[in-house]
A and B are shown apart, each in its own frame.
With several copies, the nearest count.
Chain A
């Protein structure tokens, strides 16, 4: 199972987890990213390029399933306006073995940060509104995966 979605609706982590649980796979690794209320943030707005975001998530999901032996994979990104503590992104990777589930999950969340066509705009309690700048650190973490042979990650 490969499930990819970009949605304005809230992400139902429990329901997504149930789909992996039903498979009875030996190992499931997950990553949940939530909106942080740092610095008085009251709204995070995520803009996306619909065609490219969907394509980007799909490519990423297929890259992970080529690289590791995965039984099920879920990649869901929320877009639009969100409040602090809302779930922005969910990655779920299931495999018979833990090392593959863990490595795929980490790969997917690192790559998501740079490969997907999304832009964040922050609104603060004092009225400030600012588009988030891309962080150099994210590009370093994502590039790591290009330098490490697939075999040493499993």
Chain B
């Protein structure tokens, strides 16, 4: 499954890119699995996703709970809790 992933704030800095298109293995079916897969993929991912409980996720612009399924997703955004305002 091809998926666009965008990164923000320190997640972006640790990943070294703002956005990438990945080809996901079929067993990576939800957000929990996606974070684990990114953490296992390379050193950048290991650094960015060492503490998955600190990561917030939006699918196609909508905030999702940590275990939400990826089925039908076109763009996943991964970022720390917001500090806006």
Chain A residues positioned under 8 Å from B6 (CB to CB): 49
**Given A119-B8, A131-B10: A114 and B82 within 8 A (CB)?**
yes
> B74-85, CB under 8 A of A: which get 1 and which 0?
000101111111
Number of interface residues of B (CB under 8 A): 15
Is B85's CB under 8 angstroms from A118's CB? Answer: yes
Q: A134 on the interface (CB 8 Å rule)?
A: yes
Interface of A (DSSP majority class): mixed
Number of interface residues of A (CB under 8 A): 29
Q: In chain B, what residue has the closest Cβ to A116?
A: B84
Q: In chain A, what residue has the closest Cβ to B9?
A: A119
Out of A88, A109, A112, A134, name the residue touching B81 (CB < 8 Å): A134
Instruction: Give the CA-CA distance A97 to B7 in the complex, in Å.
Output: 30
Within 8 A of B (CB), among A1-46: 33, 46
Chain B residues positioned under 8 Å from A48 (CB to CB): 84
Q: In chain A, what residue has the closest Cβ to B13?
A: A131
**Given A49-B8, A131-B9: A118 and B61 within 8 A (CB)?**
no
**Given A119-B8, A131-B10: A77 and B84 within 8 A (CB)?**
yes
